[in-house]
Structure 1
């Protein structure tokens, strides 16, 4: 599998498809695509950057269960914490999505559940990962570069 920056519209469509959401717009953003055997299988989008607060949101989705989570986490962390100089990253997911919640917790994420944000019967989990939490997590460390250049 390869990770490449780019394919913003295609990655957004995959994230929406994986989440069962229609028509989500991410505005100004940057996408990290996960390509397997020439096929886009998922990715992540960095969006809603707030330079004053030094925060950004990350949304991700995959069409296959198996994805290079460690590689994606490291590339995203290098981008948001290293290049964008963010002090915190925000992930949002349905509170029933235990896989994403466990993944964020393993990276030092702190969780806040907001009731009814996704509708009358659905709560949303806001997961905050700080640069300090990331640096001390088991996920940080040296990344073996499989990152390709931006897609044309």
Structure 2
């Protein structure tokens, strides 16, 4: 597996990863705007040579508050390796100086909710945020909680 980056420097890759993630998240049919992406490719070093198996979209960035939202999707459960996790959270916390990352998860997506909790996110359940019949859990992760997480220990 190899990590690739989209963004302003590679808008085609950025768009491809954004579409990949949005197409796999229920209720995200409109996609994302003003975003940067990280992708995980199965083989090869660029998207054209490998198969995209996971993507992370960084969006709703508020630099004044140091907050960014992450949305992610994958076709392979083994994509969350230590190097991917370090890159995934290194971007918001180390590269652009965020102090809080936000992740929105349907209350029905128990698998993702469990993953978020394992990585130190704190959940806040908001009734009806996904419509009349569905709550959403807003997960937050501070830079301090991330740095204290076991994945960052040698």
The question of a shared fold, defined as TM-score above 0.5 by the shorter chain, is answered with yes
How many angstroms does 1:22 deviate by?
A: 5.1
CA distance in 2 between partners of 1:31 and 1:69 (Å): 17
TM (normalized to structure 2)? 0.84
Cα deviation code 1:75-119 (max 9, x no counterpart): 021110011100000000111212221222122211001111111
1:80 to 92, 101, 115: 92
Matched, 1:140 2:152: yes
Q: Which structure 2 residue ranges, 5 or more long, are not aligned?
A: 7-12, 44-49
- C-alpha RMSD of the superposition: 1.6
Gap change, CA 1:46 and 1:22, over 3 Å in 2: closer
- Matched length: 142
CA contact (8 A) 1:33 1:40 kept: yes
Partner SS for 1:41 = strand
Q: Please list, as runs of the form range in 1=range in 2, the aligned pairs for 1:1-40 lying within 5 A after superposition.
A: 1-6=1-6, 7-21=13-27, 23-37=29-43, 38-40=50-52
CA distance in 2 between partners of 1:125 and 1:20 (Å): 14
